[in-house]
Structure formats: C-alpha cells, structure tokens
C-alpha cells in the first residue's frame, strides 16, 4: 500500500509541477528581481529553478503539500534569504575589495498584488529600447512568459540558433546597463507599451494555435496572456484603446477554445464547431472591452482583429462574412502577413464562393506553408476532390504539429472514401 501511494504521489507530482512551472516560474522570477535587479536576473532564475527542483524531490517522497503554490513561494523566499546571508558574510570578509550590488534585506512578498505589480514592472523593464524591438520581444517571451527557444523561433518564423544569439546579446545589454525594476515615467511607459502589447499578442497566439508537437492549443498560455493584458487595462497609465482592443480579441478568441478541438485533440473547423460550447460570458466581456477600445479615434491591428473575432461569435447576421472581409481588407493594409492573407482568402470564399477564392489563394503562392495547402485543400473539397487530397497531403508533410497531422490525415481518408464512392457510381 505504501509503495502504491508513493507511485500515485509521483504521478500527481509529475502532472502538477509542469503546470505550476508554467504558471508560477516567471511570476516568482519577477518578484525576486525586485531585490536582485535585472543585471543579475540569472541569480533570480537559478533560485526559482532550485525551488522547483526541491519540489520535485520533496513532494515525490513526502507528498504534495496542501497549498503547493504557497509552498513554492515560501521555499523561494527562504532560499533568497540564505543567498543574501551568504552574500553579506562574503562582503564583510572582503569589504574593501567589493562594492555590494544587492540590498542585504530582501523584501520578498508573494501576495497577489505584489506578484501582479512585479510582473507588470518586469514587462516594461525587459521591453527596454536598449535592445531592438525583436530582441525585446524575444527576451520578454523567454523571461516573462517561459517560452522555449523553439517556441520563440516558431513565433518569429526563424531558426533556433538565431533566437539563441539574439537572447544572449539582449541579456548582455541588460547587464551592462544595470537596469532595475522601478517605476517608469508616463513617457517611458508610452514608448514601451507597443512592444509589451506585441509580446502579449504573440504569447496568446502561441497558445491559441501552438506549433509544438504535443498540443495544438495551450489554454494555459492563452489564460496567462489574457491575465497580463487585463493588468494593463487596470492600470491608468496603460489602460489605452489598444490595450482594451487586444483584451477584447483575447476574450472573443478564448470563448471558442473548448469547441476548437474534439475529445481526440483533433482540430474542429469553424463551420463544424459546436456553438453550445462557446463561452457566452467571455463573449460579453469581449463586447465590453471592445466598446472601451472605441472611445477615441485610434484604429490599430488589434481593433480590426477584435472586430473580426466579434463577427465570428455572431451567429444570426447573414452578412457577417461581408463585414469580416471588409475588416480583413483594412487589416492587410495596416500590417501584411501571410496568415492574414490566408485568413482573408477564407473570408473571401465565404462571400464569393470557393472557385473564386482558389484563384485568390494561388496568387499568394505560399507553397512552403502548410496553412496555404490546408486552405486550398478546404477550397477544393467541393470543387475537385483529387486536388483537395493533393493539397492536404502537402500540408501533412509540412506541418510540425502531430495533432494537426492527425486531423489532416483523417480529412484525407474522408475525401478518399467520397472519391471512391463517386468513381463506383460513375462506373455503374
């Protein structure tokens, strides 16, 4: 019985720790950086990593504590105090040879307000103009959001080695300038807010349609991005039209998360989604923040994408695809991207039909994109089944997602059955 309980405990520890790591690692690092400063961010990260290592060892033997999150913060707090004690002794021994860089008495608190304030301060501290825009976003995604190098590379459509070098340079620049987590002026916040919003947008996007091999949707990333964006709307200095528009977009998109995959973790196309699974409360929140976003004359990409997402949640208006296409036409002028172009083509098909949309899609010529071939597979499905199968097969070969590969393979099987029935009928 004892052995059985140990096995059960180990199982739950293995399940719980990755979840806590994703949700708490960056928060704990942000709180610690209030004491260490960004110049020594590696020390804060090491202490948090050691805390999770201790948890994996201690919980496997002694069981999961009643409040795992609080346990982690207490251990991190104690490790921080131990570090400062050792540092204090070290400084006294070589007092004339070293200039202390840290405060000796850490003020480590882990109440929700302290964590939220630390994270918000951390975002703006990392998103500093000393680095390029791309480097700021990369660093924020790694430090604040816990992204792996591979996930950042996917977000930027580049290779891991490029991202690794970019991160090394960005961290070096922060150390040289000895940045601290501190209160910023209104001007500094305004200058950095655009990068912060882009970072949170990428965080949500990776969660909403992950390119990792294991999961197509990572709800925890979507939740974290939404939570951090909510913090921006709750602060008078960052409660802007763009912040509200981005939060509206996240609410609308999140409302359909449960309907986007089935029990087998296969993607469910928009037309096939069970609308009863859509979260009406999130749609209402999205409407609220979208209204807040339209108080001025500003029109950003977040406004347009939020508008598109809003119309997707509307089931009664027969002209909704006309509105969506018009919004995509404006969005593509503000910020062109291959994904936006492909999404616009889907909306174009809804308005003008698949055959017309096929011609538009082919003009894009994104032959290296699995999304391009998925779209053509969809468009050809009721026009030319053989061509649809060809494009779906190309998409299978190009995608990096196992779940997406399974979904596409299932679609190919369905089309092959339809094709065989059609051929048998024709022979008769």
Question: Does 72 share its domain with 147?
Answer: no
**pLDDT over 90 (residue 427):** no
Question: Does 142 share its domain with 86?
Answer: no
In a domain, 59, yes or no: yes
pLDDT band, very low/low/confident/very high, at 10 (cuts 50, 70, 90): very low
pLDDT band, very low/low/confident/very high, at 6 (cuts 50, 70, 90): very low
Question: Does 127 share its domain with 228?
Answer: yes
Least confident of 23-37, 69-83, 103-117, 146-160: 103-117
In a domain, 182, yes or no: yes
pLDDT of res. 113: 56
In a domain, 301, yes or no: no
Where among 179, 209, 239 does a domain terminate? Answer: 239
In a domain, 380, yes or no: yes
Both tokens assigned to 237: 């200095």
CA distances 152 to 128, 145, 157, 165, 217, Å, are 18, 10, 8, 12, 16
Report the number of distinct structural domains present in the chain.
3
pLDDT of res. 428: 53
Decide if 127 contacts 136 (C-beta within 8 A).
Answer: yes
pLDDT of res. 171: 83
Question: Does 152 share its domain with 212?
Answer: yes
Question: Does 35 share its domain with 82?
Answer: yes
Where among 239, 261, 285 does a domain terminate? Answer: 239
Of the candidates 314, 148, 122, the one whose C-alpha atom is nearest the C-alpha of residue 228 is 122
CA distances 324 to 5, 248, 340, 344, Å, are 55, 16, 12, 8
Three-state secondary structure call for residue 216: coil
Helix/strand/coil percent split, the chain, to 5: 75, 0, 25
Q: Which domain holds residue 20?
A: 1-93
Question: Does 81 share its domain with 138?
Answer: no
Question: Does 192 share its domain with 144?
Answer: yes
Give the predicted TM-score (pTM) of the model. 0.76
State pLDDT tens for residues 211-254: 654 555 577 778 888 988 998 998 888 999 999 999 999 999 99
Least confident of 16-30, 46-60, 186-200, 270-284: 16-30
Mean pLDDT, rounded, for 80-87: 78
Q: What is the CATH number of the domain that holds 421?
A: 1.25.40.10
In a domain, 108, yes or no: no
H helix runs in 63-159, sequence order: 68-93, 112-126, 133-143, 149-156
Question: Does 140 share its domain with 218?
Answer: yes
Mean pLDDT, rounded, for 138-167: 82
CA distances 43 to 33, 114, 302, Å, are 9, 20, 36
In a domain, 39, yes or no: yes
At what angle are helices 186-208 and 149-156 packed, to 10 degrees?
A: 100
Where among 45, 75, 93 does a domain terminate? Answer: 93
State pLDDT tens for residues 329-346: 999 999 999 999 999 999
pLDDT band, very low/low/confident/very high, at 392 (cuts 50, 70, 90): very high
Question: Does 143 share its domain with 229?
Answer: yes
Question: Does 136 share its domain with 223?
Answer: yes
């Amino acid at each position: 019985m004892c052995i059985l309980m140990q096995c059960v405990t180990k199982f739950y520890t293995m399940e719980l720790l990755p979840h806590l790591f994703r949700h708490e690692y960056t928060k704990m690092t942000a709180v610690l950086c209030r004491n260490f400063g960004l110049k020594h961010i590696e020390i804060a990260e090491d202490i948090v990593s050691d805390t999770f290592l201790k948890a994996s060892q201690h919980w496997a033997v002694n069981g999961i504590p009643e409040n795992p999150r609080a346990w982690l913060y207490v251990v991190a707090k104690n490790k921080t105090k131990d570090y400062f004690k050792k540092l204090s002794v070290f400084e006294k021994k070589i007092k004339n040879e070293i200039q202390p860089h840290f405060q000796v008495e850490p003020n480590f608190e882990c109440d929700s307000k302290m964590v939220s304030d630390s994270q918000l301060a951390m975002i703006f501290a990392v998103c500093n103009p000393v680095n390029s825009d791309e480097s700021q976003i990369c660093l924020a995604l790694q430090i604040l959001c816990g992204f792996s190098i591979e996930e950042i590379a996917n977000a930027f459509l580049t290779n891991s080695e490029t991202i690794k070098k970019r991160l090394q340079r960005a961290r070096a620049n922060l150390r040289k300038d000895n940045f601290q987590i501190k209160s910023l002026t209104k001007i500094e916040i305004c200058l950095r807010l655009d990068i912060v919003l882009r970072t949170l947008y990428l965080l949500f996007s990776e969660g909403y349609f992950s390119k990792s091999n294991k999961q197509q949707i990572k709800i925890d990333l979507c939740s974290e991005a939404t939570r951090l964006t909510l913090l921006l709307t709750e602060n008078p200095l960052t409660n802007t039209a763009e912040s509200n528009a981005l939060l509206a977009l996240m609410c609308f998109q999140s409302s359909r998360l449960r309907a986007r995959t089935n029990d087998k973790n296969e993607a469910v196309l928009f037309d096939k989604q069970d609308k009863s699974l859509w979260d009406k409360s999130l749609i209402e929140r999205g409407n609220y923040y979208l209204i807040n976003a339209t108080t001025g004359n500003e029109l950003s990409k977040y406004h347009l994408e939020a508008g598109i997402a809003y119309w997707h949640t509307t089931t009664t208006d027969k002209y909704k695809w006309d509105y969506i296409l018009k919004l995509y036409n404006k969005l593509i002028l503000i910020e062109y991207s291959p994904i936006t172009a492909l999404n616009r083509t889907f909306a174009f098909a809804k308005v003008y039909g698949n055959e017309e949309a096929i011609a538009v899609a082919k003009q894009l010529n994104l032959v290296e994109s699995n999304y391009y071939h998925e779209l053509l597979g969809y468009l050809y499905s009721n026009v030319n089944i053989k061509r649809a199968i060809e494009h779906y097969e190309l998409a299978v070969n190009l995608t990096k997602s196992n779940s997406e590969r399974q979904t596409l393979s299932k679609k190919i099987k369905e089309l092959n059955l339809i094709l065989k029935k059609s051929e048998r009928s024709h022979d008769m």
